[in-house]
Chain A
């Protein structure tokens, strides 16, 4: 696919997951490859367990607020948030989502139901050109830290060819921009993402 085009990426997750750190890592890596980068985030009240969204624009776009139907790539750090964010996906966009759930309080308290994963996948597959669901949190734990589960998702984005740089570039980004003590888990997460894609999505 064309990799020099302008690209809008929408990140969505839950406060405390580290979605902003992941956005920042991907943004810095993109800048390192010489791409024009704009990365937007909203801080503040949203971080107390609420939904956290951010945006990454590559290739010379400037609008930091995404409209519905605009994201070429949706990175969902939590499946319910993937579904909630789905209207932001452009027709024929790509979805990469964690399949590990973090139920909101209303669900934990039994006042609301969490949609089941198959329903979420069906909704996503109806509109997405391609969709990947990975147990990011589990793979993160396996790699050495829950937070590195975020790297699983961005590694998947690099591996599936939608980004204008590959997974080796991301590896370089991890080595350049993450604190040394965080690097091993994140590099491991990247390998686990590759393995998982190979196993589940290589057909």
Chain B
């Protein structure tokens, strides 16, 4: 096998890299020795790239069970002297926060970098929390790249600082950094890095209250050292006009890009001084105070919450500075993403210059939407169909995080609420305790992530819950990453398969059935049997993710469904199953053989309407 391009030893080589790939190269050049993660958009390409590179001589990596575990494994490795990287999406850091706060106290000699990939605009997330807040409350020096080349350079710098200070460092990206490509110029790729030898030191590493109080002092000292680094950091750049100007802008993250374009498009490049922050915590307060002193008006541009703005207001107050600080307003709010035009508009209002033209309204007719949907042949569809047949709207459907959240889309409407990973079980338990009938759906990877504890709790506390584990044998939504439920032959030699059924049984669940998720009759029978029972009942609905089966397992069903007779039954199936492979052909229903995955669920529902035909015999 040829060597992955990211392992190129040619310093000076330029490659077009995704922000997330740039992080990988930066980590490799820093000499990363341990990588852990739980996948989540927009962070997943970092570890997926580490997996693809396959350089076990350089680093060990794992897809951990969840972010807390990933954090703890990475912290342990960093304690053991390894330069360690742990990656996750923003909400993942909520799960991982517990170990992180305390390891900031103890410190980690090997050096730990925590990637938090935030998702302003909720492209694929349940909230748009701004994790710069964690840097502040957990005492983490923080780097925020705005371009791929910075993602590369800052990752390297973050590792160097992590090892120097022995403190965990946060690398914070957003979707438009992680998923934006740009040219990156490579540096030297080192040979193997050595471990910092582990030395027992309970007075540091066992945070009993007496120790923790002392370590709190130590972390404050480390943060002061980090501030001195920030004062001199090449990532904190001032761009001042040759002669003094009244207006100054302080900005960080992706907002820097929008500002760059807005200054050009509005012809304002020579009107303002700019302070761009790349190392954004702790703040270089001396330099910032100096910047505030030199300007009558300062505008803060930061996507997300107004952290920087509030810090600068506090700094101005503390130093008694007479400066007018502006930030969030009706144009640039703390909601969603910024853009070039929004920033241009805000600049114009602040400077009193002409505002950019509003976009023209084209008055285009209302168009049919294209919402994401469960794939043709998705094994969740048949489960939702069966559940709806048995329960209709008589229960509350407690959903969870994964492709199957799309069960919310009509006609399935199999999602009534959702909090976070694992909440289908524990949130469902609480709701059921208030007298609702609850059917919970959770995927296999999410079950291992944070369903195990919820299920143990449900059994322990005698909750009433019908739980369906949608076992498609992979982590589908984020790109088919391994999880313990995956088949041993797919996992390879480095992981061990865990048996879902055995686990559920071992928790003391006696009402348990494992069913082929394509088998509608068995599903309906099981739902009906469990319907009026009390206690915790579990159905494991098994069937590989159809994309995973095709791409990784190389399994394609030999037959496709064709319509053999039109009528009421066919139309009802179209309406109730709503498989994306169906289409209307005038008054008739037809199946697109290029989309049909051959699950044959429609044949079971409408046996008079469909039949199976060999794939080769049907023309696309």
Which A residues are closer than 8 A to B by beta carbons?
14-15, 24, 27-28, 31, 36-51, 61-70, 80-81, 83-84, 86-87, 91, 103-110, 112-115, 119, 123, 126-127
Find residues 197-249 in chain B having any chain A CB closer than 8 Å to their own CB.
none
Per the bound structure, the CA–CA distance linking A33 and B14 in Å amounts to: 13
Contact of B406 among A15, A48, A80 (CB under 8 A): A48
Residues of A within 8 A of B41 (CB): 43-45
Find residues 329-382 in chain B having any chain A CB closer than 8 Å to their own CB.
337-342, 357, 359-362, 364-365, 367-375
B42 interface residue per 8 A CB criterion: yes
Residues of A within 8 A of B338 (CB): 65
The answer to whether B181 and A62 have CB atoms under 8 Å apart is no
Which B residues are closer than 8 A to A by beta carbons?
14, 16, 41-42, 44-45, 123-124, 146-147, 175-176, 179-183, 254, 256-258, 260-261, 337-342, 357, 359-362, 364-365, 367-375, 403, 406, 477-478, 574-575, 578, 580, 582-584
The answer to whether A65 and B337 have CB atoms under 8 Å apart is yes
The answer to whether B42 and A43 have CB atoms under 8 Å apart is yes
Residues of A within 8 A of B123 (CB): 42, 44-46
The answer to whether B16 and A37 have CB atoms under 8 Å apart is yes
The answer to whether B369 and A43 have CB atoms under 8 Å apart is no
Per the bound structure, the CA–CA distance linking A37 and B181 in Å amounts to: 8
Contact of A107 among B175, B260, B341, B368 (CB under 8 A): B368
The answer to whether A91 and B367 have CB atoms under 8 Å apart is no
The answer to whether B372 and A50 have CB atoms under 8 Å apart is yes
Residues of A within 8 A of B584 (CB): 108-110
Contact of A49 among B181, B370, B477 (CB under 8 A): B370
The answer to whether A63 and B477 have CB atoms under 8 Å apart is no
The answer to whether A105 and B124 have CB atoms under 8 Å apart is no
The answer to whether B375 and A39 have CB atoms under 8 Å apart is no
10 A-B Cβ contacts within 8 A?
A28-B16, A31-B16, A40-B179, A40-B180, A45-B124, A63-B340, A64-B176, A70-B341, A80-B367, A119-B365
The answer to whether A87 and B364 have CB atoms under 8 Å apart is yes
Per the bound structure, the CA–CA distance linking A119 and B364 in Å amounts to: 10
The answer to whether A87 and B362 have CB atoms under 8 Å apart is yes
Residues of B within 8 A of A39 (CB): 16, 180-182
The answer to whether A38 and B180 have CB atoms under 8 Å apart is yes
Min CB distance, B368 to chain A, in Å? 4
Per the bound structure, the CA–CA distance linking A50 and B370 in Å amounts to: 5
Contact of A14 among B254, B367, B370, B578 (CB under 8 A): B370
Of listed B257, B368, B477, B584, residue having the most chain A CB within 10 A: B368
Residues of B within 8 A of A51 (CB): 370
Closest residue of chain B to A65 (Cβ to Cβ) is: B339
User: Assuming the A-B contacts A43-B42, A63-B340, are A27 and B370 also in contact, with contact meaning beta carbons closer than 8 angstroms in the complex?
Assistant: no
The answer to whether B254 and A86 have CB atoms under 8 Å apart is no
Per the bound structure, the CA–CA distance linking A67 and B14 in Å amounts to: 29
Closest residue of chain A to B582 (Cβ to Cβ) is: A108
The answer to whether B362 and A112 have CB atoms under 8 Å apart is no
Contact of B373 among A70, A80, A105 (CB under 8 A): A105
Per the bound structure, the CA–CA distance linking A104 and B371 in Å amounts to: 8
Residues of B within 8 A of A49 (CB): 370, 372-373, 375, 580
Per the bound structure, the CA–CA distance linking A105 and B374 in Å amounts to: 11
The answer to whether B403 and A48 have CB atoms under 8 Å apart is yes
The answer to whether A42 and B582 have CB atoms under 8 Å apart is no
Per the bound structure, the CA–CA distance linking A53 and B41 in Å amounts to: 16
Residues of A within 8 A of B181 (CB): 24, 27, 37-41
Residues of B within 8 A of A104 (CB): 368-370
Residues of A within 8 A of B359 (CB): 67-69, 87
Min CB distance, B44 to chain A, in Å? 8
Min CB distance, A66 to chain B, in Å? 8
The answer to whether B16 and A27 have CB atoms under 8 Å apart is yes
The answer to whether B124 and A46 have CB atoms under 8 Å apart is yes
User: Assuming the A-B contacts A46-B372, A104-B370, are A86 and B179 also in contact, with contact meaning beta carbons closer than 8 angstroms in the complex?
Assistant: no
Min CB distance, A144 to chain B, in Å? 15
Contact of B374 among A48, A106, A126 (CB under 8 A): A48
Per the bound structure, the CA–CA distance linking A91 and B371 in Å amounts to: 28
Closest residue of chain B to A84 (Cβ to Cβ) is: B367
Residues of B within 8 A of A83 (CB): 364, 367
